[in-house]
Amino acid sequence: MVRGWSTVGLMLLALLRGPASAAAQDGRAAQRPAVLLIHGGAWTTVGEAARHSMDGDARRLRALGWSTEEIDHHPGAEALTDVVAAYDGLRHRLGRETPICAYGASSGGHLALMLATRRLDVACVIAEGAPTDLPTLTGPVADYAHRYFDDAGGLAAWSPARRAISTRVLLVHALDDGVVGVDQAARFKETHPATEVVSLAPGGSSAYVHCRVAARDVRRWHRAERSLLSAVEQGAEPATTGSASRSRERSKQRSSA
């Protein structure tokens, strides 16, 4: 017997060493795929209440076997720096092989899409009511976009619809969204044809980031979400989004318009 160790102590040591050795042989411990959740609020509403607005989405995604991380961020253009830093931290903890998707509501959806322009290993993006083509926004959300992005490269540079994005994308948008018009989903789909768009009919009692929508369409949205996350877990190749050069050319054409 090792001096100073009881029989029980040696048994515990053996149990601890077993899994550690297996993990070392595998290179790293197995990790669940993860979703980074980014709240909305017109790039201006921040804080704990805003972060916790994503709690329901996080619970739904965890029920599918994904781990979740809800984050907060600074207002304005600095928000993207925070989102990228949060993603990088999560990537560092989970390793290179673990899928990480980004999920955002409203302006958070915009930031999730912008993250995919900065980090090409984002496994998928799910965006709910997201602004995608900032120069064509109308109403108060357009005012916020000008306030925050005019001096940070301009609205075109902050428009995911005008940027090359190669990952899987699911856009969810209410047909009568009075905050961010449904044309924003159509504009993104035009430049990224492989994008899946789920349209939500008005008049229901189910929650969507900007209004109430039909429950049957929310169920369709959640089915599309499950299908997307399942494809990511299984390692299926994403459908082609068209050539990057064509996407960049369209971006240049729109920027100069």
- Residue 179 is classified by DSSP as S
Least confident range of 75-84, 129-138, 201-210, 238-247: 238-247
* Predicted pLDDT of residue 239: 61
Domains and CATH numbers, the chain: 30-234+242-256 (3.40.50.1820)
- Residue 131 is classified by DSSP as -
What burial class does residue 135 get, using C-beta atoms within 10 Å of its C-beta: 0-12 exposed, 13-18 middle, 19+ buried?
middle
Q: Write the pLDDT tens digit of every residue in 216-252.
A: 999 999 999 999 999 999 987 766 544 343 444 444 4
Give the chain's mean pLDDT. Answer: 86
Q: Write the pLDDT tens digit of every residue in 10-66.
A: 343 333 333 333 333 333 445 899 999 999 999 999 999 999 999 999 999 999 999
* Predicted pLDDT of residue 46: 97
- Residue 177 CB partners (closer than 8 Å, separation 6+): 129, 208, 210, 211
Q: Write the pLDDT tens digit of every residue in 184-193.
A: 999 999 999 9
| pLDDT over 70, % of the chain | 81
Q: Which two tokens stand for residue 112?
A: 């999730």
Does the structure show a pLDDT above 60 at 91?
A: yes
Does the structure show a pLDDT above 90 at 256?
A: no
What burial class does residue 133 get, using C-beta atoms within 10 Å of its C-beta: 0-12 exposed, 13-18 middle, 19+ buried?
buried
Give the strand pairing for 168-174 and 196-200.
parallel
Give the strand pairing for 212-213 and 202-207.
antiparallel
* Predicted pLDDT of residue 237: 73
